[in-house]
Amino acid sequence: MSFGAFDTLPKLSQKDALHILKTPIDELKLSSDYYKAVFHLAKYPSRETEEALMDLLISESMDNSILIAKRKAIEVLGRLGCKKAITIIGNNLKSKDPYLVENAAWALQELSCADAKLHNLIGCLLEQSHQNQRVLIQSLAKMGAISELPKIKQLLVKDEISSGVKGAAIAAISRLTGESNNLDILRSNLDLDNQNDRQSAVQDIIDAKEYSLLELVLQTPVSPYFRIRSIELLWDKTVDHLFEFNLTKSLDLLLLDDPKNIRILNHYQSKTNSNFLVKELFSTDFRKCYLALSSLLKIPKEEIWTTIKDYLQEFKKDYGALYFLMIILRKINDSGDKNNKISIELLNHCLDDSWPKFMKFKAQAILASVDIDKNIFYDNYENWLNEEKTPYWVCRYATLMCIQRLIDKENQIKFKDALLRIKVDSNKFVRLKVNDLLI
């Protein structure tokens, strides 16, 4: 089970976590200890862990700290695949806490719950506007709850529902019936102003298995994570055949992430300067980031560098901005330039092993290494191709893209042994890329 990039809670043994959950809350030093215990129990899959979490869910206390711990307990039981917890989790669908209800619905889908009574209960909750209707719909669809289809369809005739709920309903109907209706709505939702709405639209297209919209998704200004996820979950060989979709070419373009290939759709109403554009790279809205990136790449390199230096420390602390900075450096760096030392400093900062393995800027840094300092690439490429040392497949794929560039430019045969070793990589996209290079 993954615990995310920022697992900063103090370490706790299974024994200590179990002891905390057996201790009355008024005897604990911190009310948050229950949540901490539940969080860490996820790392110790066992009968004892499951029973302790189920015992917590039986509690009728409405104490806020217990409610928060119960939400997490439900999530953990779902991730652990604890099917014997289905009934207890289902009872929490009746809670007055909508977040507890939301987590319960999600966990039931993870456990492939086939209980028609629980399906019906979730379906009835769709009538309550204070519930997370989007998650409830997704849960019903993933459980194959076709009995609740009329209730899902009923939502579509309501004018006041959000784009996220409407998109989830369309995706659910498609998943439950196999009918591809209202594709124009899913397509138009990719261009909504709000980034969360655009990301929801991507998820709806994935849930509806609308392969024909994959290419459009890859051009949508959302986090690279969502676009990578779409290609992971939507692509199969049928897509290549039916829609003339070239997988490796699309993956290469996705990783290079040139703003020219993104449907930004908006533009600046007045003249901008490099200071404004660089600040926009720190935005949480990726449409703003891609627009700023596109505009930055049109101004003189020296002007870009002047501003980068002003924001150097801010860049080093912002994960999203570092992602875009690596793209910029790949475009403007010159190994003989006076600023190359700063490029190397930033590159090494991004490639440092102290970062979590799945940071999205890591692959961009690998791609930039060939442009900034080939020696860094040559010193590290075998580790970057090693699945154990580099578990994120996107980084291994990016390394292969760099090798392809070097082979094309310098006709180097030194990579052949490394490529032969990675032919058995567990990731299908990495294997396909290797095969392309070995042909």
Q: What is the pLDDT of residue 115?
A: 97
CA gyration radius, the chain: 24
Helix (DSSP H) and strand (DSSP E) numbers for the chain: 27, 0
Burial degree of 298 (CB within 10 A; 0-12, 13-18, 19+): exposed
d(CA 322, CA 435): 31
Q: What is the pLDDT of residue 411?
A: 63
Q: What is the pLDDT of residue 239?
A: 61
Per-block average pLDDT, block size 10, for the chain (439 residues)? Answer: 50 92 86 92 96 92 89 97 97 94 98 97 95 97 97 90 95 93 93 95 95 92 94 76 75 95 88 94 96 94 93 95 96 81 95 92 96 94 96 97 85 82 93 89
Tell me if residue 66 falls in helix, strand or coil: helix
CATH number of the structural domain 274-438 = 1.25.10
**Whole-prediction pTM:** 0.88
Q: What is the pLDDT of residue 6?
A: 43
- Please state the φ and ψ torsions of residue 389, each to the nearest 5 degrees: -85, -25
Q: What is the pLDDT of residue 293?
A: 96
Task: For tokens 């039986």, name the residue.
Answer: 58
DSSP classification of residue 5? T
DSSP string, 367-418: HHHHHH-HHHHHHHHHHHH-TTT---HHHHHHHHHHHHHHHHHH---TTHHH
Q: Map out the domains of the chain as residue ranges.
A: 1-108, 114-244, 274-438
> Left (φ > 0), alpha (ψ -120 to 50) or beta: where does 2 sit?
beta
Q: Which long-range contacts (CB under 8 A, 24 or more apart) does 165-169 make?
A: 165/133, 165/134, 165/137, 167/200, 167/201, 167/204, 168/133, 168/134, 168/137, 168/138, 168/141, 168/200, 168/204, 168/207, 169/137
Query: Beta-carbon neighbour count of residue 102 at 10 Å?
Result: 22
Q: What is the pLDDT of residue 288?
A: 95
Closest CA to 404 of 427, 383, 433, 364: 433
